[in-house]
Amino acid sequence: MKLLTKMTKMAALVTGLGFASTCMAAEPIDLDALLKTLEQGKSAQSAQNLQREQAFKSRENEQVQMLKDTQARRNQMLAESERLETQFEENEVKLANLTDTLSNRMGSLKELFGVLQQVAGDSSNKFMTSVVSAQIQDRSKFMDELAVKMGSTSNLASIEDIEKVWYELQREMTEQGKVTRFNTDVIVEGGAKAQQEVVRVGAFNLISNGKYLEYNAATNTISQLTRQPVARFTATAEDLQNTDSGVVQFALDPTGGSILGLLVQAPDTEERVHQGGTVGYVILGVGLVALLIAIERFLSLMLIGGKVRRQLKDSVARDDNPLGRVMKVKDQYPDVAYDTLELKLSEAILREMPKITRNLTLIKIISVVAPLLGLLGTVTGMINTFQAITLFGTGDPKLMAGGISQALVTTVLGLVVAIPTVFLYTLLNTRAKNILLIIQEQSAGIIAERSEKGA
């Protein structure tokens, strides 16, 4: 209260000074007039302050009543808080008692419901990825709802829920042993949808039009594999789809598509050949040259051998075969000594040898060079692999395995070319030697005959 009085007086003084300043600014006065004006302002201010004090005192009782009301409400709320706390503690005790009672009454059912919740969750994931869901849909929805429902202790499974879980599990096992047909939309090459007949082989594979399909659980769609396995697998799919009864061989994927996915990722023979790169193409080119030469030599030696065998049966020498041309040397030099005739025959045989053994040496060279080219490709491929390891590290084993696999392709190509080339060279060289042996044998007979005549 004293503080309020002082503040009131200070406000009055300031007001008086302001009033005096206004008067002084209005017109100039002397000191007596100024003193008188200040006294009048002080009296007016004192009257205002007194009026304000009286008004404040008149409201003091109202403020006291408001304080009492507030304190009463606070006490009421404290009492309500104590009552609610007491009720909360009592409810906790009741809840604990009811929980114990529920647990006692449930007994072994509690364990049953826990197993049921786990089975529902596991079955939901299994049904979602199973190819059976491509034909029988919305099976995992019930399992999801039941698993969420069983997650709360206040919700218990009914007999109908338990029976439906058993039914869905039994149906899944039953469908795994069936081969069924149904019509549905299939995403074919190019992304278009087409209504096709789909054959479901248990819970393992889906096929249509002789091609393997895959089921996407996220989008609930069926689509053809972008790459099909090799022909020996797709042939079994065609046989199965075209058969209405009986036993048919079929390439089954027991993993539900995992092994099939790895098989289609594996490169085929053409792709492996392309992995050899430039060196691989060179090896194949060299091998093709060797094959063409071998075919030409095989046909030529076969014709020459036939003519030589016919010449052996004929006493008249002909110019269409090496043996006949060698035998004509005897007729060209009927009077020379046998040693001179031997030299003439040797000369004739040497003249025929290049025609018989032509290009055989080239085939032999190719059989030696092909594996060397394969080794060259392997070395360059390994260099590239180690450079990739230097840049990217060894964190990804597929990077190393893929690079080494590509590097070894050239070695395989070199051996594939070299091994048959060696056999071809041996075969052709043997044929050529047989022809030369026949010619030399006949030449030796001619020399012996001339020697007997000279004796």
Look-up: residue for tokens 């390439």? 251
Give the Cα separation of 53 and 259 in Å (integer).
99
First to last CA, the chain: 174
Give yes or no: residues 446 and 326 share one domain: yes
In a domain? residue 75 = no
Give the Cα separation of 65 and 54 in Å (integer).
18
Give yes or no: residues 428 and 338 share one domain: yes
Give the Cα separation of 184 and 424 in Å (integer).
56
End position of a domain, from candidates 247, 266, 285: 266
DSSP state of 201: E
Q: What's CA 22's distance to the chain center, in Å?
A: 94
Give yes or no: residues 159 and 259 share one domain: no
Give yes or no: residues 201 and 341 share one domain: no
Give yes or no: residues 382 and 321 share one domain: yes
Give yes or no: residues 385 and 288 share one domain: yes
Give the Cα separation of 329 and 275 in Å (integer).
57
Return the closest-CA partner of residue 219 out of 137, 124, 147, 148.
137
**pLDDT for the residue 24:** 42
Cβ pair 209, 221 in contact under 8 A: no
In a domain? residue 72 = no
In a domain? residue 237 = yes
End position of a domain, from candidates 159, 176, 193: 176
In 3-state terms, what secondary structure has residue 244? coil
**Rounded mean pLDDT for each run of 10 residues along the chain, 455 residues in total:** 43 43 48 73 76 77 84 91 92 87 68 79 83 84 79 71 86 87 87 87 87 84 83 84 82 79 73 81 93 93 90 83 85 80 86 89 93 89 79 68 78 93 94 91 84 68
Q: What are phi and psi of 192, to 5 degrees?
A: -80, 155
Give yes or no: residues 283 and 388 share one domain: yes
Identify the domain containing residue 450 by its residue range.
277-454
In a domain? residue 93 = no
Give yes or no: residues 282 and 404 share one domain: yes
Domains of the chain: total: 4
In a domain? residue 137 = yes
Residues present in the chain in total? 455
Give yes or no: residues 379 and 327 share one domain: yes
In a domain? residue 91 = no
**pLDDT for the residue 106:** 63
In a domain? residue 90 = no
Q: How many CA atoms lie within 13 A of 299 on its CB side?
A: 5
By DSSP bridging, strand 179-187 and strand 193-201 are antiparallel
In a domain? residue 101 = no
Report the run of H or E that residue 252 belongs to, with start and end: none
DSSP state of 49: H
Give yes or no: residues 309 and 258 share one domain: no
End position of a domain, from candidates 234, 266, 298: 266
Report the run of H or E that residue 44 belongs to, with start and end: helix 31-58
Give yes or no: residues 322 and 421 share one domain: yes
H-only helix segments in 357-454: 360-392, 397-454
Give the Cα separation of 93 and 105 in Å (integer).
18
Cβ pair 12, 49 in contact under 8 A: yes
**pLDDT for the residue 151:** 67
Give yes or no: residues 41 and 14 share one domain: yes
